[in-house]
Chains A and B, each alone.
Chain A
Amino acid sequence: MSSNDKNECLVEVKDLKQYFPIKTGFGKTVPLKAVDGVSFSIKPGETLGLVGESGCGKTTVGRSLLQLYKPTGGEVYFKGEKVTDQNIKALRKEMQMVFQDPYSSLNPRMTVEDIIGEPLDVHKLYSTKAERREKILELMELVGLNAEHATRYAHEFSGGQRQRIGIARALAVNPSFIVCDEPVSALDVSIQAQVINMFEDLQEKLGVAYLFIAHDLLVVRHISDRIAVMYLGKIVEIADADELNENPMHPYTESLLSAIPMPDPNLAKTRKRIILEGDVPSPMNLPSGCAFRTRCRYATEQCAKECPSLTDRGNGHFVSCFNK
C-alpha cells in the first residue's frame, strides 16, 4: 500500500492483537488469542464485510477497534491519527457501534427518546430542550420510526424496530464510521432485508463507512464492497466482494462459499460441497504454523512449520496460504 493510499483511509488497523488471560489453575494464566495480528483498512463510505464462524474473533475485532477492550497490541488509526486513550473521547463521536442483540442492547428502563438522546446528552450536542427533541425526532424519522414512539419503552417494540432504535442511537452523534456487529442475525429473514436495505440507504445519504460483521455470507455479499474472512483470530483472505465470490483462494473461504444454500435445486445438485473435517482448535492452544492446517485439504509440512502471511495475488486480493 502506498503512502498516498494511507491518507485516503478512514480507518486503518495495523497488527491488532487482543489476548484475554484465562485462569487455568492457581496463579496460572494462559492467553486466549481472540484476535492475533489483524490488519485492514476501510475507506470513507466503504463497507468492509467481516465473516467467519462463531468464536473466531469477529466481534472482538470490532470492540477492540473501538477501544471497548484495551487491545493487547497493534494500532488503530482514524483519519491518519492514532487512536489513544487521550483522544478516544473525541473519537467516540466519529466511531459508533450497532449491536447484535436488539433485546439486550437497549436499557429496559429508558424511553426511546432517552435512549436516542443519550449520546446527544453526553456530547452536549444541543442547546435547548426543544432542539434535543427535534434532533431525536429527526433521527427517528431517518430510521423509519414514528414520532409517537418516542415516549415508549424498548420492550414495547418488535426486534426490527428495536434494531432501528439502536441504529438511531449510533447515528445520533453523526459518525463517519459504524461497526455493525451482526446487526441482523437476531432478526427474522424478512426483517433482515428491511434493515439491510436501511443500512444501504443510510450509507448513501450520510456517507458512513461500515465494518459489517456477520456470519451470513449472503448478507455480507449483498452489502459489502470488500470482504475479509477470519479464522481463529486471523484474517485468511481479503478481497473485493465479487472477486472473493468468484475466485476464492483460501481453502477455508472455498468451503465457506460451498456451504451457501442455493435457491436453484438443479445447480445445488451439481455443486460440490467441501466439508471440513474435525473441529476448530481451541484458541488457547493453537496449532503450530498455519492455524487452519489441521482441517486443510492442502496442508503440507511447510504449513506446520511456518505461519503464512497475507500476500497480494493482484487486484487487491490478499490471501494467507502457501499452497493456493
Chain B
Amino acid sequence: MSNENGMPKKNVLSAQIDLKKFDFATEEEKKQQDVMSESTTFFKDSMRRLRKNPLAMGSIVVLAVILLVIIFAPKIVPYGYSEIITVDGVRDKTAKNLAPFTYSKMEQQYMDKGGKVFPHIFGTDEQCRDYFIRVVYGTRVSLSVGLFASIIVLIIGVIYGSISGYAGGKVDLIMMRIVDIIYSLPDLLMVILLSVVLGETLGTAIKGTVFAKLGSNMLSLFIVFGLLYWVGMARLVRGQILTIKQNDYVLASKAIGTPAHRIIRTHILPNCLSVIIISVALQIPSAIFTESYLSFLGLGVQAPMPSLGSLANAARDGLTSYPYKLIFPAVTIVLIVLAFNLLGDGLRDALDPKLKK
C-alpha cells in the first residue's frame, strides 16, 4: 500500500507530511546551518551600525578632508601665516584686500615677465597676507584647542566622576557639592579674570617655548577648561557609575576580592565608555565655539597667530567691501561644529544597545 513516493498511503485524517512539498537543501543552505553567527565585540557591532548612518559618515569625511587640508596645505602653499607678500624679494604694497583667485599689479607684471606666482585661493587681507593660509592656521588652532580642552575635560571629569560615583555616601555628597559650586561660577568672567591675572605671570614663564606662540590668553583658556568645564563630564560619569555598580558582576568581582581601582577600570568604565565617547565628541565643538567667541572678543590667541574666531573678528571692519573675509572662517567653524555634532549624534545612536535590531 504505497504510492509513487514510496510512502505509505496517506490517511485522510492523519497529519503525515507530504514529501513532495519539500526540496533537498542546497550545499549553501547546509552550510548556513553549520556556521554560527560570527563572534562580534560590542564595538565591531556599533561601528557596523555607524557605517549605516549617512550623516555620521558624511561628517567623518568632512572632518577627514579638513584634517588633510590643515596638515598638508602649509607644505604646498608657499606663504606663511604672518608673511607679508613679496614679489621677487620686493614688498608688494598693492596686494591688499585681494579677492579670491586674483593677483595684484606687481604680481601681474611679474607673471607677464614669465615668473610664477601661487594663486591666493581666499584672496589676501588688509596687511597683504595670504588669507587661505591664515584660515588654515586658524583651523589648526581652533581644532587643537577643541581637542586639548576635551582631553583635559575627559581626564579630570572621568577620574573625579568615577571616584565620586564608586565611593558613594558622604564622599559622593561632598564631591558633588564641590561640582555644584564650580558649576555656578560664570565661565566667561573666569576666563577674562584669569587671562588678565595669568597674562603677567605666564608671559614670562612661557617665553621661548611653543606656548609663547599661542599666547597666555590661550593657556588661560586651557586652564579655565581644566578648572570649570569638567564638571559636566564628572556628573555624567558619576550618574553612569551609580547605575552600573548595582550590577551583579560588580558584586561578583568584589566577592573575588578584586581591588576597587581594578573594578572601576575593568568593569565599570568599559560599560560607560559609549556615553563618554559621545560626550567627548560633543565637547569638541563646544570648546571650539568657546575659543571662537573669546577670540572674537579679543581674548583669544596672540597676534599674529590667527584663530577662526579672531579672523572673523578682524573681518568685521571691512564687512561691506570684503564679505568673503568673514564667510571663509565662519563657514569653517560651522562645518567643524556641525560635523562633530552629527558625528556625536551618530555615535550615540550606534552605541546605544537599546536601538540594536
Contacts and interface: CB of A to CB of B under 8 A. Distances in A.
Nearest to A120: B256
A89 interface: yes
Contacts of A104: 247-249
Contact of B39 (A99, A108, A152): A152
Given A151-B39, A152-B39, A156-B39, A105 B258 contact: no
Contacts of A106: 249
A123 B258 CA distance: 9
Contacts of B247: 104-105
Contacts of A221: none
A68 interface: yes
A122 B248 contact: no
Nearest to A105: B248
Interface string B209-252: 00000000000000000000000000000000000000111011
Contacts of A169: 252, 256
Instruction: Summarize B's interface: helix, strand, loop or mixed.
Output: helix
Given A104-B248, A107-B249, A109-B270, A119 B42 contact: no
A41 to B, nearest CB: 21
B271 A108 contact: yes
Given A109-B271, A122-B262, A92 B255 contact: yes
Contacts of A99: 248, 251-252
Interface in A105-150: 105-110, 118-119, 122-123
A88 B258 CA distance: 12
A218 B32 CA distance: 42
Interface residues of A, number: 30
Interface in B252-296: 252-259, 262, 266-267, 270-271
A166 interface: yes
Interface residues of B, number: 20
B39 A119 contact: no
A11 to B, nearest CB: 15
Nearest to A91: B257
Nearest to A172: B256
A107 B247 CA distance: 9
Contact of A122 (B249, B258, B270): B258
A228 interface: no
A224 interface: no
A173 interface: yes
A52 B285 CA distance: 56
Contacts of A97: 252, 255
Contacts of A110: 266
What 6 A-B pairs are tightest by C-beta distance, nearest first?
A: A92-B257, A105-B248, A109-B270, A104-B248, A97-B255, A107-B249
23 contacts: A66-B255, A88-B257, A89-B257, A92-B255, A92-B256, A92-B257, A104-B247, A105-B251, A105-B252, A107-B249, A107-B266, A108-B42, A108-B271, A118-B256, A118-B258, A119-B256, A119-B257, A122-B258, A122-B259, A122-B262, A152-B39, A166-B252, A169-B252
Given A66-B255, A68-B255, A169-B252, 11 more contacts: A68-B251, A68-B254, A99-B248, A101-B248, A104-B247, A105-B247, A105-B248, A108-B271, A109-B270, A118-B266, A156-B39
